A and B are shown apart, each in its own frame.
Chain A
Amino acid sequence: MNTSPAMLWLTIFGVGLGTFALRASCIMLLDKFEQPPWMEAALRYVPPAVLAAIISSSLFIEGEVVRVDVSDPRLAAAACAAVVAWLTRSLFFTIAAGMVVLWLLQALWGMA
C-alpha cells in the first residue's frame, strides 16, 4: 500500500465522519420536520428494497460478474431458508436451516 499513514488516517476519519453524518442526518437535523405522506410511504418500502438488493448482491454477484448458478449450494440453501422463514418467522431457525443445508450439500457433493 503506497498511501502514507497520514493520508490513511485522513481517509479513515474522513469516511468515519462522513458516515456518521449520513447516519445522523435526518435523526439530528429533521427534528422540526413533519414527514410528508409520500416520504412516509417511500420509507415503508426501504426494508424490502434494501434487503432484496443486499441478498441479490450476496447470492448472485461475485465482484464484477453476475453468477446465477443453479448448482451453487448457497442458492439451494437460501431457498430452503426462505421456506423456513415463511413457515416459522424465526431468525434462528431460518439461519440454522440455511447453514445446515449448505453444509450438507457441501459434504455430499464436496462442493466449496
Chain B
Amino acid sequence: MTTAAVEQAAPLRSDMMRGFRAVAPLLPGVIPFAMVTGAAAAESGLPLAHSLTISWAVFAGASQLTMLALLEHDAPVLIVMLTALVVNLRFMMYSAALAPHFKGLPRGRKALFSYLLTDQAYLLSLPELAGAEKTRGMRFYMGVAATLWVVWQLGCTLGVLLGHGLPPHWRLEFAVPLSFLALLVPALKTRPALAAAAVSGIAMLWTHRAPAHLGMIIACLLGVLTGVVLERRRT
C-alpha cells in the first residue's frame, strides 16, 4: 500500500487518539486546577446542586472562579454575569480563528465543537486544523476537547465532593501556567510574534487594574495590534 492509502485506511479512532496523546501532558495540571475550582464552589457557600452544575454549564475555570469570588461578596447578579463574560471574551477570538476550519459543517456539530472550546483545545488543534486533511484535524480537535471536558467534570466534581483540592504545598496548579509556557515558546517563531507576546505580557502588569477583569483582553488586543503592525512594517 502507498503511504496515502495507508493514511486513508487509518481507523477513525487514531486521530482522536493523537488528540488525546497531545493533551495528556497537560492533564496533571488541569486535574488539580479543576479540583481547586470545584472545592472553591463548595467552600463559597454555593449549594451542592449549583456547584455540580457550574462546571458543565459554564465550563471555563477562570470565569468560574471569578463568579464564585463575586458571589461570595454578594455582588449583584448582573455584575457577576457581565464580569464572567468579560473574562471569557478570549473565546470569541478562538471562535474567529477556528471558524474557517469548521465551515460547512452541520449546525449540531458546530455547536458541539463550540461548546467544547477551551484554551488548550484551540492552542493544540490550530496547527492540525490548518493542515490539508480537515476531517483528521476535526477528530484531533475532538480528541483534545472531549478529553478536557471529561477531565474537567471529574476534577470539579471531585473537588466539590471532597471540599478541597490536592495538598496545596505540592503546587500542582503551577503545571497550568507551565503548560501555557510550553505552548508559548514554540509559538515565538517570528519577531512580530515575539513582540506581540512581550507587549501583551508586559501590558498585563498595568492593564490588570482595569475594572471588571477587562485587563486581559486589553493586553491581548495590544499584543495582537503590535504583531500586526510589525508584520505590516516588514512587507
Q: Which residues of A contact B (CB under 8 A)?
A: 1-3, 5, 7-16, 18-20, 22-28, 30-31, 33, 35, 38-39, 41-61, 64, 66, 68, 74, 77-78, 81-82, 85-86, 89-92, 94-95, 98-99, 102-103, 106, 112
Chain B neighbourhood of A99, CB < 8 A: 171-172, 174-175, 178
Asked if B58 CB lies within 8 Å of chain A CBs, one says yes
Contact A39 B96 (CB under 8 A): yes
B93 CB to closest chain A CB, in angstroms?
Answer: 5
Contact A53 B107 (CB under 8 A): no
Among B46, B59, B111, B194, the residue within 8 A (CB) of A24 is B111
B44 CB to closest chain A CB, in angstroms?
Answer: 6
Contact B95 A1 (CB under 8 A): no
Contact A53 B223 (CB under 8 A): yes
CA distance A43 to B84 in the complex (A): 23
Residue of B nearest to A91 (CB): B25
Among A38, A52, A103, the residue within 8 A (CB) of B223 is A52
Number of residue pairs A-B, CB distance < 8 angstroms: 279
Interface 9-mer from B11-19, B147-155, B156-164, B203-211: B203-211
Given contacts A26-B99, A51-B197, contact A56 B180 (CB under 8 A): no
CA distance A38 to B225 in the complex (A): 10
Shortest 5 CB-CB distances between A and B: which pairs? A49-B223, A45-B227, A52-B201, A16-B57, A24-B114
Chain B neighbourhood of A25, CB < 8 A: 92, 95-96
Residue of B nearest to A28 (CB): B110
Chain B neighbourhood of A56, CB < 8 A: 200-202, 204-205, 219
